[in-house]
Amino acid sequence: DIQLTQSPSFLSASVGDRVTITCRASQGISNCLAWYQQNPGKAPKLLIYAASTLQNGVPSRFSGSGSGTEFTLTISSLQPEDFAAYYCQQLFNYPRTFGQGTKVEIK
Amino acid sequence: QVQLVQSGAEVKKPGASVKVSCKASGYTFTVYHMYWVRQAPGQGLEFLGWINPNSGGTDYAQKFQDRVTMTRDTSISTAYMELSRLRSDDTAVYYCAREVGINAFDFWGQGTMITVSS
């Protein structure tokens, strides 16, 4: 199985901060990576697919980059509604594994 | 609009089985694979497997191979996930989600809380 390692696991930031989350794959996955946001008690919400394509309706302050084994999710200016957990997921092969998650908390 | 609506929360005893349903609407059910993912309290997302609603073909994560069964009823656009021989560490929210051609899970069910307790 492909392992995904996210860093950091926890992030404390303020409104307006630029935030970057990294996801590293245990083997090359081309651009077959998605990012999700999850608020407490809610289902995950798709933010980015194919490593860098913004899902319809997602604010442009979110962006993704990377290919191969290293990927990043960037929030250019953190908003109050962005305090949540974020997960990467590889869709290169089966099983469709997830990173362990990054929780973004208010400083 | 696309919706995946799951069945309600359940409490089960260790050793029992549970069957969760996921009713799809707003799109052609047989076109996209349906996945099942779970999340234990305070933990991350764990992949269980998927079903091809068109053929009924399935693929399960190795960890759940001998305990999980995924089925579907195309007449009512509903996918099912049954987990047997439940243990306390199966306590989690179980989600269905569809994967589309963009290689991502674009719609998710609301989740079903399964509690395993004696």
φ, ψ dihedrals at B44, nearest 5°: -90, -170
- The identity of residue A72, as a single letter, is T
Flag if A87 and B44 touch (Cβ within 8 Å).
yes
Write down the pLDDT at residue B75.
97
Contact call for A98 and B47, based on CB within 8 A: yes
Name the burial class of residue B23, with classes exposed (0-12), middle (13-18) and buried (19+) by CB atoms within 10 angstroms of its CB: middle
Distance between B9 CA and the closest CA of chain A, angstroms = 13
CB < 8 Å to B104, chain A: 34, 46, 49-50, 55, 89, 91
Query: Which pair of tokens denotes residue A73?
Result: 């999710």
Minimal Cβ distance to A46: which of B35, B46, B106: B106
Q: Could you give the CA distance from residue A44 to residue B105 in angstroms, rounded to a whole number? A: 9
Residues A79, B37, A81, CA angle at the centre, nearest 5°? Answer: 10
Enumerate long-range contacts of A6-9, CB under 8 Å, 24 or more apart.
A6/A86, A6/A87, A6/A88, A6/A99, A6/A100, A6/A101, A6/A102, A7/A102, A8/A102, A9/A100, A9/A101, A9/A102, A9/A103
When CB atoms are compared, the residue of A43, A50, A94 closest to B103 is A50
What are the pLDDT digits (tens) for B91-116? 999 999 999 877 899 999 999 999 99
Each residue of A6-51: pLDDT tens digit?
999 999 999 999 999 999 999 999 999 999 999 999 999 999 999 9
Contact B99 A91 (CB under 8 A): yes
Is there a contact between A91 and B47 if contact means CB atoms under 8 Å apart?
A: no
